[in-house]
Structure 1
Amino acid sequence: MARRRLRHKLMLGLVLVAGSIGLLASGTAYGLYTYYISVKTIDRKVNELGIVTQMIGALNTFDQGDPDKADGCLLAIGSTQGFLNGTPHGFDFANKKNVQAGYDPDDGAQEAFLVPELNKNLDALQKEVNDATKSSYNGDKSLKIRENPRVRAEYENARRTAENLRHALLDDIQKSGQESFAAIRRAVWIVGFAMVWALALVATMLYYFRVWMFAPIRELQAGVQRVHHGTFDQPLVLNSGDELQELADEFNAMVARLHAVYADLARQVNERSRQLVRSERMVSVGFLAAGVAHEINNPLASILFCSEALERRLQDVLASSTAPPAETEVLTRYLKMVQQEALRCKDITQKLLDFSRTGERTKDPADLTGLIRGVLEVARHLPSSRGKEVIFEPTGYIVAPVNAQDLKSVILNLVVNALDSMEDGGQLGITLGTAGGYAELVFVDTGCGMAPDVLQNIFEPFFTKSRTGKGTGLGLFISHQIVDQHGGTITAASAGPGTGSTFTVRIPLQIAPGVTDAPGTEGEPEPAPTVLTFPGSRTAA
């Protein structure tokens, strides 16, 4: 579904508001215009009515004066015709002007009929007056001019037509008022409808503005406040389908990235803190090793020398004596135990001395594939390797600047730990490749796995959770220091007890700029994987 843009919503609201205002203004303007036309029409018709009234008054003077004299009659007829046809103040001129201006409700229909009729009546009246006057001059004085039946008949016709004209004007005024009231009522209905529509539109727009703008803005504000207080796991949920939803999506993506950055920073801080603690312990152990190793090695050498000498002398004495065989076996076993523990202590002090030598070690380019295979050849003779399988899968002949002996120690320690953690039938997978300018060694075993608390302390000195119960807790600690001195990293991962473990060692390759492959890999065929099954000397390639 296409998203409804916020500007489109605002434009729709603006158009509806403008339409409502236009409807309201149109109704008001229509009412005012109708009122203006009505007032103007009534004013013009009142003016015409005044002229007609004056005309009727002039016509009524026909009955005034001496009935025998025709001058008064003709004067009354002339005045009436002057009010009817006089220019520019006559009724006929005023009526035509009003009709042209649109100020006559029936467009002068009645007036157009009555004005000619009145002119005709006045002409007939004037003719009858003239005829009556001529009769009088001829000696016929039996009837007075105003009382002449034919004159009286024409006079009544003219008077009736004038009254009809006045009634027509009154009808026009009344009709104009009625039309005005009807138009005003229509205007009131239009304005009322426009007001109701505007109120309903305002209520609807307030609702939709709350849905489209106010609520999303409040949600955005709440999301920003949550992020400000450190809550990153509650994303913004907006379904407005406009720019605010896009802003919320971008904000969620930004918060997710920020959360990842914070988590990575927390991890780095935690790792750096642990490294600092390890470094402090390393310094302490280094000072301890420097002072203790020398002091312990001399007594240990004396104990070992004396136990070996005592063993040789006891063998001669016991051979010539009659001591019971059981006692002889006990003495021999105890002497062997003293020698083994002395050698074990010497091995520990040797590791401490190796650890205390923190100076820069020589690093030379070395073939990591061959180095790992050499370590595996040594590991095949270990007692813990029996009944287990090791699969080595390199992706190429990778060369990196390393101290070969130190790196061999790291690899051997990881292999031995993996073999010790597995039961018979276990499998250790080793892969070698490159990623991001680093040689990457991954050791994946099917052993006993590790709990989270073990993972947190796995590289601490003297920390050991060996399945066999043996170990000094210095192997991984020293391995971590060796890898760190090479500028690399070593990490451990496990899903939990019984799920196996994964150790990843990354050593920098120091590839020249513009080179994407590891040194020494160009033109070399990819080496075949190596599978070692212990015990036995079978090697499959």
Structure 2
Amino acid sequence: MARRRLRHKLMLGLVLVAVSIGLLACGAAYGLYNYYISYKVTQRKIQVFQAVAKLVDVLNKVDRSKDSKRYERNLIQVVEAQNQLNAVKQQNEDARKAGLDPDNADMENGLVSQLEGELAALMSAVDSDLRPTASLNGGDNPDQLIPVHNKCVQIAEALRQAQVDDIKQSCDESKAAVFRAICLTGFAMGWALALVGTMLYYFRVWMFAPIRELQGGVQRVHNGIFNQPIVLDSGDELQELADEFNAMVARLHAVYADLARQVTERSRQLVRSERMVSVGFLAAGVAHEINNPLASILFCSEALERRLQETLTALSANTAVAPPADAEVLARYLKMIQQEALRCKDITQKLLDFSRTGDRKKEPADLTGLVSGVLEVARHLPSSRGKLVAFEPTGYIVAPINAQDLKSVILNLVVNALDSMDDGGRLDITLGTVAGYAELAFTDTGCGMAPDVLENIFEPFYTKSRTGKGTGLGLFISHQIVDQHGGTITASSPGPGAGSTFTVRIPLQVAPEVADAPAGDPETDPAPAVLTFPGGRNAA
């Protein structure tokens, strides 16, 4: 059985709609056309009516008195009446040529011809006033002007009535045409309503129901339901689309879980990487531009401090007067300037370190010794006093790394943990292997982090340090270094006041000489190291 193509169904509906629209347009156009013709006829006839009315007014001004001097007055009126009649005649002819006279100007032309003859007779009657007569007031010769004038006025009135009759006839014809247009439009409207109802029914069967089924299938897939295929029997492109969609969903079901995991994991890394590139370009320029004025500020403050000390010493040696009270304030402010300049220099150095990180040389290195070396440095930090650091490696673990970069990452995490803890706090560091990665975990008992802090902890210039001295670059740079090693760094915390855990994973590569080391050898299997910093200077 041949499929009923969707385009054929749509074409059929389009043709029927076009026919309906054509009928409606024809009815409306027919009514409008007749209305327009009626309007033009009425407009033209009103103009002729006004001209005829003026002609009647002129005729009514003819002097019918017995005055012997009426000749000049009547001659002017008759000439004007003839001119006005010519104007009426021309207007009637224009209306006939334009097709705007209902009776094709037959009646008007007959009346105009009669009136022309009567006006000629009226002119003769006026001229007779110049001929000698017995008397205008009596005698055997009656006045010839009055009957001729009456006839002219009668014909002019008939001509005016003819215009009124034409207007009435035009209105009647227009009314009949409008009625026919209404009937045609009503029929077209009924046809269109019936067609719309029929088309709605078939479109619901042909299109709406299949589209709704397709939408339901897409919604099911969106909700993670892959075992309910779309069932259509429309025999057109929509059925073919449903079959293809079912096949696609079957293939998608096999890879959906893995894709979802990859998208979730990599999307945040992509956003952070783009930010790193932007901040990297900014960091290099800012650090280089700030270093020079910072060096000048530091040099000048040190020079001022030395000169102040020399001046105060000379003053004390030469006189018995005590140094001014402002001397101590000046010395304290100069020292503050130096400290803040050094702090700015440290920030710019971090910016330079960040901008210079890239594809640096990586060599296999022992992570256990690397962590131990960093802890040896950390034991001298002021923030380590009175706090416990426990390092528990599971063995010698070797990975291809840039040792200096990874040291900065470990040191930054250790310093952050120590700063977040009060006296008596504990930092546990574990080193092991998980699924081909070397895993370093830093768990402290510090102040912990809220969910919003965890979400932005690796963003540049974002800091929630308790000391208020952080720049927000340490963890950002650490994340970049770990990312360039092909690893990951994550942060977790049960909540504020419950401590935090930072986990660093580096791709693992075990060196051959280390892989052959005998298990349990006291020379190769280090024991867990526990470091306590009660005063920040000794380790146990």
Query: How does the TM-score come out when normalised to structure 1?
Result: 0.50
Once residues 260 and 531 of structure 1 are traced to their aligned partners in structure 2, the CA distance between those partners, rounded to angstroms, is 43
Which residue number corresponds to residue 444 of structure 1?
A: 443
- Summarize the Cα distance change of 1:358–1:378 in structure 2 as closer, same or farther, 3 Å threshold: closer
Letter in 1 for 2:281: F
**Cα deviation, residue 262, structure 1:** 6.5
User: Is 1:491–1:504's contact at 8 Å kept on the other side of the alignment?
Assistant: yes
- Summarize the Cα distance change of 1:289–1:257 in structure 2 as closer, same or farther, 3 Å threshold: same
**Cα deviation, residue 284, structure 1:** 2.2
SS in 2 for 1:392: strand
**Cα deviation, residue 225, structure 1:** 8.5
**Cα deviation, residue 528, structure 1:** 0.8
Letter in 2 for 1:334: Y
Q: Which moved more, 1:359-368 or 1:458-467?
A: 359-368
Report how many aligned residue pairs link the two structures.
296
SS in 2 for 1:371: helix
User: Is 1:398–1:521's contact at 8 Å kept on the other side of the alignment?
Assistant: no
Letter in 2 for 1:264: R
**Cα deviation, residue 317, structure 1:** 1.2
2:294 counterpart of 1:264: no
**Cα deviation, residue 258, structure 1:** 8.4
- Summarize the Cα distance change of 1:227–1:337 in structure 2 as closer, same or farther, 3 Å threshold: same
Which residue number corresponds to residue 352 of structure 1?
A: 351
User: Is 2:459–2:476's contact at 8 Å kept on the other side of the alignment?
Assistant: yes
Which residue number corresponds to residue 329 of structure 2?
A: 330
Which residue number corresponds to residue 508 of structure 2?
A: 509
**1:398-477 paired onto structure 2 within 5 Å:** 398-477=397-476
- Summarize the Cα distance change of 1:226–1:298 in structure 2 as closer, same or farther, 3 Å threshold: closer
- Summarize the Cα distance change of 1:511–1:397 in structure 2 as closer, same or farther, 3 Å threshold: closer
Once residues 275 and 308 of structure 2 are traced to their aligned partners in structure 1, the CA distance between those partners, rounded to angstroms, is 44
Residue from 282, 286, 300 that aligns with 2:294 = 300
Once residues 478 and 521 of structure 1 are traced to their aligned partners in structure 2, the CA distance between those partners, rounded to angstroms, is 35
Once residues 408 and 422 of structure 2 are traced to their aligned partners in structure 1, the CA distance between those partners, rounded to angstroms, is 23
User: Is 1:365–1:399's contact at 8 Å kept on the other side of the alignment?
Assistant: yes
Once residues 498 and 492 of structure 1 are traced to their aligned partners in structure 2, the CA distance between those partners, rounded to angstroms, is 15
Once residues 362 and 269 of structure 2 are traced to their aligned partners in structure 1, the CA distance between those partners, rounded to angstroms, is 25
SS in 1 for 2:439: strand
Letter in 2 for 1:471: G
Once residues 269 and 392 of structure 1 are traced to their aligned partners in structure 2, the CA distance between those partners, rounded to angstroms, is 31
Once residues 479 and 328 of structure 1 are traced to their aligned partners in structure 2, the CA distance between those partners, rounded to angstroms, is 44
Larger Rg: 1
User: Is 2:354–2:477's contact at 8 Å kept on the other side of the alignment?
Assistant: yes
Structure 1, unpaired ranges of 5+:
1-222, 233-254
User: Is 1:433–1:439's contact at 8 Å kept on the other side of the alignment?
Assistant: yes
**1:36-435 paired onto structure 2 within 5 Å:** 227-230=220-223, 261=258, 264-275=261-272, 279-321=273-315, 322=321, 324=323, 326-435=325-434
Identity level (%) = 75
Q: Which moved more, 1:474-483 or 1:363-372?
A: 363-372
Letter in 2 for 1:317: T
Q: CA RMSD in A?
A: 3.3
- Summarize the Cα distance change of 1:323–1:286 in structure 2 as closer, same or farther, 3 Å threshold: farther
Letter in 2 for 1:362: K
Letter in 2 for 1:274: V
SS in 2 for 1:302: helix
- Summarize the Cα distance change of 1:406–1:303 in structure 2 as closer, same or farther, 3 Å threshold: same
- Summarize the Cα distance change of 1:332–1:441 in structure 2 as closer, same or farther, 3 Å threshold: same
**Cα deviation, residue 261, structure 1:** 4.6
Once residues 412 and 346 of structure 1 are traced to their aligned partners in structure 2, the CA distance between those partners, rounded to angstroms, is 19
SS in 2 for 1:466: coil
Deviations 1:273-302 (A, max 9, x none): 433xxx232222222222222221111111
SS in 2 for 1:498: coil
- Summarize the Cα distance change of 1:313–1:539 in structure 2 as closer, same or farther, 3 Å threshold: closer
SS in 1 for 2:448: coil
Once residues 427 and 490 of structure 1 are traced to their aligned partners in structure 2, the CA distance between those partners, rounded to angstroms, is 21
